[in-house]
Structure 1
Amino acid sequence: MIKRLAFRVALLLALILPATPALAWWEYGHGAVGRIAYMTVSPHTRHEIDRLLRQGRLLDTPTCPVRTIELAAYWPDCIKTLGERFSYASPWHYQNVNICRPFDLRAPCADGNCVSAQIERNVRLLADVRVPLRERVAALAFLVHFMGDLHQPMHAGDHNDLGGNRVQVTYGVIGGRTNLHSVWDGYLADRGISQPPGEPAGILSELSGADRAAMRQGTITDWSREGWEISRDYAYGSLFQDPCADRPRDAPRPVMTEAIVERLIPIVRRQVARGGLRLARLLDEAFAPDSIWLRPRERNPS
């Protein structure tokens, strides 16, 4: 009941406030990815997560607490409200890889300013017990959040439109007051995660042991390419017959129909599951004795 009420309040605010690109997966989606990871890590890893979250005061962000995995998952978006203090992290939430060119992370990830590079950086910080405790707490929150971002397709693919932020769409009762990025960030994600069997436990209940094991495989680059393909084939592809064709300025606003939404919900749920299970794998690797993330980079698992 409380979550349904919260969703209705969020929907009301969405009707009143202009859409912005500030959040990814919004709180519900990020929290679901974090909770799936928390549910599936080893007991040792869960203990280490709890130990770090208890030190959240070290971040000195009282308006953006990290007491739970869900709060930690939202922290990197929450700190955007703190002005210039954390502005350096803004480009870390996405990687605008052109869906109409061969997949290549080099330009979007120049100088490490992209989500996949920051996932690797933060898992290394988390694994290194020599790093000051405050920085490891921040690394945990960033890692949890960025794994959610990586699995939000509009943070993985782009068509020279800021990851769909410039693509106005019509969606349900919201009508035309939103864009493709925001639909995937929140409205579609909220519906997909809450649809029965809902919540993280419900999403996991649909997966066999073999499914879960398969989802945990691959590298950060593999996961980046996967999200880029989903962006092209499903996010853009569900609305445009040719996602790479030029769109005239006077073209009708695309409509995300109920039929399209129904086809996309399984994609959303699978991405949330993948994000959580893969995050669990990285956390288990980071907190393991003799973590592989502390070995020379040529042996980097990604």
Structure 2
Amino acid sequence: MKKHFFGLALAAIMLAGSIRANAWGSTGHRVTAEIASFYLTAKAKLGVSKIIGKESLAMIANWPDFIKSDTTGQYNHTSSWHYLDFPGHISRQEFDRLLKETKGENLYSQTLAMIKELKTASTTPARKRFALAFLVHMIGDMHQPLHVGRDEDMGGNKVQLSWFDRPTNLHKVWDEYLIDFQQYSYTEYTNILTRVVTPADVKTMQSGGIPDWMYQSHILSDKVYDGSPNGAKLSYRYNYVFVNDLNNQLLKGGLRLAKVLNDIYR
């Protein structure tokens, strides 16, 4: 019974609405998770399979968003785990200072916490499943630039604009619309992004650590904000300008998730 609970719970709530905590939408998170699965070591594959059995990383990648529809309140404390905001156009030194001084549970602190839980032998199977799902999801989150965006506009949620004449906000454009515009399934998207990746590319993209990756995403958020003013009418030109950034972030997220999991199960 226990081994089926996660899947049943996921299926029951997968129609949850979009809120700030979502990132990349369902497709984007599955892309990063699927990419990661292609780059796991044998030890990492075994470690993951002991937690989720025959389920794939892509199957569990969106669970931390789906549980937002839970009415018991047991997951309310995880809302702040999906993002960490910063002022715009800050230096790396200032970024590191703010990252160090930030209090409470957030994208950075809880990514480290989930890694620690997965490394701890005494962590229960249920808790490891929880930790793995959140780790997969949060590594994806930190590569959606507006999840390390600005507090004053709630990561772009208050930046009102239009996407092909449809009123929306900047955060939702990057969560869903820009990815959906590519018109790929997550498996098609994964194959397209990984087809041309060289071993040298993998090494470069996997270099550094979580603070480095978050700062890179934050730098990209500055570009996104600068190119997406309030009231802008976004369409084909916007996709042309940002599609390479979008694809690179999805690819980096997947490759870096693989690195984190490979390090956990060395």
TM-score by length of 1: 0.76
> How many residues end up aligned between the 2 structures?
247
Amino acid paired to 1:119: T
Deviation at 1:114, TM superposition (A): 1.6
Equivalent in the alignment of 1:87 = 76
What is the DSSP-based 3-state SS (H/G/I as helix, E as strand, rest coil) of the residue aligned with 1:33? helix
| Partner deviation per Cα, 1:2-46 (whole Å, 9 max, x = no partner) | xxxxxxxxxxxxxxxx96424211111001111100111112211
Residue in 1 aligned with 2:12?
Answer: none
Q: Is the 8 A contact 1:92 1:115 kept in 2?
A: yes
- Are 2:60 and 1:72 aligned? yes
Asked if 1:122 is matched to 2:100, the reply is no
> Which deviates further from its counterpart, 103-112 or 264-273?
103-112
Gaps of 5+ in 1: 1-17, 55-65, 241-251, 289-302
Summarize the Cα distance change of 1:124–1:192 in structure 2 as closer, same or farther, 3 Å threshold: farther
SS of residue matched to 1:169: strand
- Could you tell me which residue of structure 2 aligns to residue 213 of structure 1? 203
Does 2:66 correspond to 1:98? no
Provide the secondary structure at the position in 1 that maps to 2:227. Answer: coil
TM-score normalised according to structure 2 size? 0.85
Identify the match of residue 278 of structure 1 among 242, 256, 264: 256
Kindly report which structure 2 residues correspond to 1:15-54, keeping only aligned pairs within 5 A, or say none. Answer: 20-54=19-53
Aligned CA-pair RMSD: 2.4
How far off its partner does 1:270 sit? 0.3
> Per-residue deviation at 1:282?
0.5
Report 1:104-253 matches (<5 A). Answer: 104=95, 107=98, 110-158=102-150, 160-172=152-164, 175-176=166-167, 178-192=168-182, 194=184, 198-233=188-223, 235-240=224-229, 253=231
Task: Note the alpha carbon deviations across 1:250-273, whole angstroms, 9 max, x for none.
Answer: xx7111231121121111110000
Cα pair 1:29 1:193 within 8 Å, conserved:
no
Structure 2 counterpart SS, 1:98 = coil
Change (3 A) 1:210 1:148: same
| Uncovered stretches (5+) of structure 2, i.e. residues with no partner | 1-16
Shift of 1:194: 2.4
- Provide the identity percentage: 28
The answer on whether the counterparts of 1:125 and 1:136 sit within 8 Å (CA) in structure 2 is yes
Asked if the contact 1:192/1:266 (under 8 Å) is kept, the reply is no
Q: Which has the higher contact order (CA 8 A, sep 6+)?
A: 2
Relative to structure 1, the CA distance from residue 47 to residue 208 in structure 2 (aligned partners, 3 Å threshold; closer, same or farther) is same
Structure-2 change in CA distance of 1:19 and 1:129 (3 Å)? closer
- Supply the distance in 2 between the matched residues of 1:207 and 1:140 (Cα, whole angstroms): 26
